[in-house]
Structure 1
Amino acid sequence: MPGLRANGGYRARMQTNTPRRSTRGTRRTIRLTRRGRIALIVTGAVVAGTAVAVPLLTTDDEGESRPTSLVIPEGWRATQVYEAVDKTLALPPGTTKKSLAKANLKLPNDAEGNPEGYLFPATYPLGENPTPEKLLTAMVDTANKKFTGAPVAAGAQRNALNVYQAVTIASIVQAEAADEEDMGKVARVVFNRLERGMPLQMDSTINYALGRSTLETSTKDTKVDSPYNSYQRMGLPPTPIDNPGDEAMSAAINPTPGDWLYFVTVKPGDTRFTADYAEHQRNVAEFNRVQESASKEAQAK
């Protein structure tokens, strides 16, 4: 059955098309899961553009300030990390991404050279003569220490996953959860859908496929031809979709017990999880009303 375990683990790279869902109703009412992390929108759209302001600064002998460390927030994508390193080190755009070929990063075989998910969010001192290779190596080495230790490795095995699959689930949890308290429930939705052979249908994977961060996902978006389209493809996406932190990783290996299959953040602080699709439709309808009301208020100002 699609999406279920194969050879002791989940089929993370399965890309079988699923039956087309009904497109009746509005753009939002057909969505089975709803990305609730509004804060991540701000992070993706704004922080990456101001990454040089994130590090601690020091003043040199000529009175000029220069960064002494670089802070990588939870949930940043690799592209955002590359941009931040370029800006912090005052390098031409694209330099850090090009440096991957010579960085010799110690990534798992499943990553196939893609460091997404392994650029661990933390504060990294620049030290003397910092280079993209040094910073990327520090991030990946930190991730390996976090992910290959007993808690994560044992937790992944307990859930019939390998570590790379656990990191992939953690990246979805990081993108989808409205707050830390919801992470375990979001992880459970992922597991429940995988176990039932259901497509994940996560907007965050669509956003990753399209290289954007938004709460608006149209029916057309859900038909994009991409291995990251979790509306059309079964199982996990082929790689993580961002770089998760400790809390998301913990949720991925310790999902909260429950039977939930759907969730929607109606408004900040109000994320509703349910196993009943009819109830979920009612929650989505309320979400739509809240959005429409907010839109009218914004237009009136």
Structure 2
Amino acid sequence: MAVPLLTTDDEGESRPASLLIPEGWRATQVYGAVDKALALPAGTTKKSLAKANLKLPNDAEGNPEGYLFPATYPLGENPTPEKLLTAMVDTANKKFTGAPVAAGAQRNALNVYQAVTIASIVQAEAAAKEDMGKVARVIFNRLERGMPLQMDSTINYALGRSTLKTSTKDTKIDSPYNSYQRMGLPPTPIANPGDEAMTAAINPTPGDWLYFVTVKPGDTRFTADYTEHRRNVDEFNRLQQSASKQAGAGAAK
């Protein structure tokens, strides 16, 4: 994803003045961006977690995934990884522990950490902001029915990748993030969600949907009927194969 990570100050100095963290970035991406912004050796920010003393919920067990809130952060005079990570976590705590999120989580029989986890899946799965509430509803409907979530985004997280293609082999990996094999929510968030995804997680759109697939850009189909869902998935696969063939033909020329 091409985003302007850094901005320069008004005097045109080469040192970046701020750091932009986009919605849906994983912690590993945030660490890399901080290293780059502060011109530090790769891996420095991740190593700084031990001394950052971040105010995370107990359920997080020291892992800030989900709590590195997406926003633009000024670097200030003497920026350090610890200062930036603290600013992100403090921003997340202000957002998540306020009345709307805390009450919304409680209304849905969740704690805040679970709501953030759902929001992270919504952020990763929804092709458009207007679909977020529906994706959240699919998650709730599956949890209530004792169905595995079967979200490709959790497999991608386990494998450290981002792709639309998940193979049968992928769905059999041994990981607590394999939501095809494991019941319930993954053990941590899988990304750092923004405001819209959090709103969707605590106010899911009413509906009976259990399945969804983005057949093509702008065309995400939700259904409660498995047969209909398989037809939608078949159409998605046909379009993917067609696009792949066209790309191959273009390369052959």
With structure 1 as the length reference, what TM-score do the two structures score?
0.80
Residues 109/222 of structure 1: CA separation in 2 closer, same or farther (3 Å cut): same
Q: Is the 8 A contact 1:77 1:242 kept in 2?
A: yes
Q: Tell me the SS of whatever aligns to 1:53.
A: coil
Alpha-carbon shift at residue 122 of structure 1 (Å): 0.2
Instruction: Render the CA deviation track for 1:49-102: whole Å, top value 9, x for unaligned.
Output: xxx995686778997512000000000000000000000100000000000000
Q: Is the 8 A contact 1:206 1:222 kept in 2?
A: yes
Q: Is the 8 A contact 1:260 1:274 kept in 2?
A: yes
CA distance in 1, matches of 2:204, 2:127: 16
Relative contact order, CA 8 A, sep 6+: which one is greater?
A: 1
Among all aligned residue pairs of Structure 1 and Structure 2, give the percentage whose two residues are the same amino acid.
92
Instruction: Render the CA deviation track for 1:223-248: whole Å, top value 9, x for unaligned.
Output: 11000000000000000000000000
CA distance in 2, matches of 1:53, 1:274: 33
Q: Is the 8 A contact 1:202 1:230 kept in 2?
A: yes
CA distance in 2, matches of 1:271, 1:58: 35
Residues 99/108 of structure 1: CA separation in 2 closer, same or farther (3 Å cut): same
User: Structure 2 matches for 1:1-301, cutoff 5 A?
Assistant: 64-297=13-246, 298=250
CA distance in 2, matches of 1:247, 1:60: 29
**Greater alpha carbon shift after TM alignment, 62-71 vs 143-152:** 62-71
Residues 104/281 of structure 1: CA separation in 2 closer, same or farther (3 Å cut): same
With structure 2 as the length reference, what TM-score do the two structures score?
0.94
Alpha-carbon shift at residue 155 of structure 1 (Å): 0.2
Q: Tell me the SS of whatever aligns to 1:68.
A: strand
Instruction: Render the CA deviation track for 1:225-275: whole Å, top value 9, x for unaligned.
Output: 000000000000000000000000000000000000000000000000000
CA distance in 1, matches of 2:88, 2:22: 12
CA distance in 2, matches of 1:264, 1:176: 9
Question: Which residues of structure 1 form unaligned runs of 5+?
Answer: 1-51
Alpha-carbon shift at residue 294 of structure 1 (Å): 1.0
Question: Which residues of structure 2 form unaligned runs of 5+?
Answer: none
**Greater alpha carbon shift after TM alignment, 288-297 vs 234-243:** 288-297
Residues 59/121 of structure 1: CA separation in 2 closer, same or farther (3 Å cut): closer
CA distance in 2, matches of 1:165, 1:145: 17
**Greater alpha carbon shift after TM alignment, 53-62 vs 110-119:** 53-62
Residues 53/293 of structure 1: CA separation in 2 closer, same or farther (3 Å cut): closer
Alpha-carbon shift at residue 289 of structure 1 (Å): 1.3
CA distance in 1, matches of 2:19, 2:238: 41
Count of residue pairs the alignment pairs up: 250
CA distance in 2, matches of 1:282, 1:96: 46
Q: Is the 8 A contact 2:69 2:193 kept in 1?
A: yes
**Greater alpha carbon shift after TM alignment, 64-73 vs 135-144:** 64-73
Q: CA-atom RMSD, angstroms?
A: 2.0
Structure 1 residue runs of 4 or more that deviate by more than 3 Å after TM superposition: 52-64, 298-301
Q: Tell me the SS of whatever aligns to 2:15.
A: strand
**Greater alpha carbon shift after TM alignment, 146-155 vs 63-72:** 63-72
Q: Is the 8 A contact 2:8 2:17 kept in 1?
A: no
Q: Tell me the SS of whatever aligns to 1:146.
A: helix
**Greater alpha carbon shift after TM alignment, 138-147 vs 210-219:** 210-219
Q: Is the 8 A contact 2:116 2:193 kept in 1?
A: yes
Q: Is the 8 A contact 1:58 1:65 kept in 2?
A: no
CA distance in 2, matches of 1:291, 1:56: 31
Q: Tell me the SS of whatever aligns to 2:245.
A: helix
Residues 81/59 of structure 1: CA separation in 2 closer, same or farther (3 Å cut): closer
Alpha-carbon shift at residue 292 of structure 1 (Å): 1.4
